[in-house]
Amino acid sequence: MSNDAIGRLGRRWSGRVWMASFVLCLIAAARPTAGAEAPKGQQQQEQQQPEGAGAAAGGVEDELSKYFQSLGHYIVEDRKVKNELGRTALPFLDWGFVQPGFIAYVNKQTRAVLPLNDPHDVTDEKQVAAVPVAVPSGVRIRTEPAARGGTFAQTLFEAKFPWEAECEVHTLLFDEADQRYKLWYRTKGEPIAYAESTDFKTWDRPMREYRAYEGQKQTNLIGVIADGERALGDLRDANEARPGAGGAFFIDPSASADERYKCTFMAHVKPTTVEYARQSAMPLSAMTDPPSTVMFGAVSADGIGWRVLPRPIMLHDADTLTCARYDTLLKRYVMYTRLYELGRRSVGIAETTDFSRWPLPMNLLSAGAGEKPSVDYYAPAFAAYPGRAEIFVMMCLAYDRSIDRSQIRLATSRDGHAFHFTPGEAVIGGESSAERDAGFLSAQPSLVRTPDGRMVVFYDASRVPHKFPRHRFGGSTQYAAWWPADRLAGIEADGAGEFTIAAMTLRGNRIVLNMKSQRAGGICIEIRDEKFRAAPGRTFADADNLSGDNAAATATWNGQSDLRELAGRTIYLRVRMRAAKLFAITASE
Nearest to 294 by CA among 273, 322, 325, 263: 273
Nearest to 49 by CA among 31, 35, 67: 31
Nearest to 32 by CA among 20, 49, 15: 20
Q: Which residues make beta-bridge pairs with 349? A: 336, 362
Phi/psi class of residue 416: alpha, beta or left (left: φ > 0; alpha: ψ in -120 to 50)? Answer: left
CB atoms under 10 Å from CB of 541, counted, come to: 19
Q: How many residues does the chain have?
A: 589
Secondary element (H or E) of residue 109: none
The answer to whether 367 touches 347, Cβ cutoff 8 Å, is: no
pLDDT, residue 71, reads 77
The DSSP output letter for 163 is G
Task: Name residue 422's amino acid.
Answer: T
Nearest to 324 by CA among 335, 309, 313, 339: 335
The answer to whether 456 touches 149, Cβ cutoff 8 Å, is: yes
Residue 375, SS3 per DSSP: strand
CA 294 to chain centre: 30
- Cα dihedral 479/484/489/494 (nearest 10): -120
Distance CA 343, CA 361 (A): 16
pLDDT, residue 21, reads 43
CA 236 to chain centre: 39
CB atoms under 10 Å from CB of 436, counted, come to: 16
Distance CA 52, CA 558 (A): 15
CB-count exposure of residue 11 (10 Å: 0-12, 13-18, 19+): exposed
Nearest to 417 by CA among 332, 504, 486: 332
Distance CA 587, CA 507 (A): 6
Task: Name residue 134's amino acid.
Answer: A
Phi/psi class of residue 218: alpha, beta or left (left: φ > 0; alpha: ψ in -120 to 50)? Answer: beta
CA 215 to chain centre: 45
Task: Tell me the domain boundaries of the chain.
Answer: 3-133+490-588
Residue 314, φ and ψ in degrees, nearest 5: -160, 135
The answer to whether 61 touches 533, Cβ cutoff 8 Å, is: yes
Nearest to 142 by CA among 382, 551, 425, 496: 425
pLDDT, residue 210, reads 94
Distance CA 128, CA 235 (A): 73
CB-count exposure of residue 103 (10 Å: 0-12, 13-18, 19+): middle
The answer to whether 347 touches 339, Cβ cutoff 8 Å, is: yes
pLDDT, residue 23, reads 44
What's the sign of the alpha-carbon dihedral 23, 21, 13, 575? Answer: positive
CA distances from 116 to 71, 119, 179, 332, 356 (A): 10, 9, 53, 42, 53
The DSSP output letter for 138 is S
What's the sign of the alpha-carbon dihedral 254, 256, 262, 266? Answer: negative
Q: Give the pLDDT of the chain (589 residues) as one tens digit per residue.
A: 444 443 443 443 334 434 444 444 444 333 333 333 333 333 333 333 333 333 334 688 999 999 988 876 555 444 445 689 999 999 999 999 999 999 999 999 999 999 989 999 999 999 999 999 999 999 999 999 999 999 999 999 999 999 998 899 999 999 999 999 999 999 988 899 999 999 999 999 999 999 999 999 999 999 999 766 567 889 999 999 999 999 999 999 999 999 999 999 999 999 999 999 999 999 999 888 878 999 999 999 999 999 999 999 999 999 899 999 999 989 999 999 999 988 899 999 999 999 999 999 999 999 989 889 999 999 999 999 999 989 999 999 999 999 999 999 999 999 999 999 999 999 999 876 666 667 899 999 999 999 999 999 999 999 888 988 887 787 889 999 999 999 999 999 999 999 999 999 999 999 999 999 999 999 999 999 999 999 999 999 999 999 999 999 999 999 999 999 999 999 999 999 999 999 999 999 9
Task: Name residue 372's amino acid.
Answer: K
CA distances from 362 to 43, 334, 335, 337 (A): 55, 12, 10, 9
Distance CA 583, CA 144 (A): 10
CB atoms under 10 Å from CB of 468, counted, come to: 13
Distance CA 346, CA 283 (A): 20
CB atoms under 10 Å from CB of 218, counted, come to: 13
The answer to whether 109 touches 19, Cβ cutoff 8 Å, is: no
Distance CA 263, CA 171 (A): 10
The answer to whether 6 touches 518, Cβ cutoff 8 Å, is: no
pLDDT, residue 430, reads 84
Residue 103, φ and ψ in degrees, nearest 5: -105, 130
Secondary element (H or E) of residue 68: helix 63-71
Alpha helices in 253-295 (DSSP H): 273-280
pTM of the model: 0.87
Q: Before 536, cis peptide (omega within 30)?
A: no
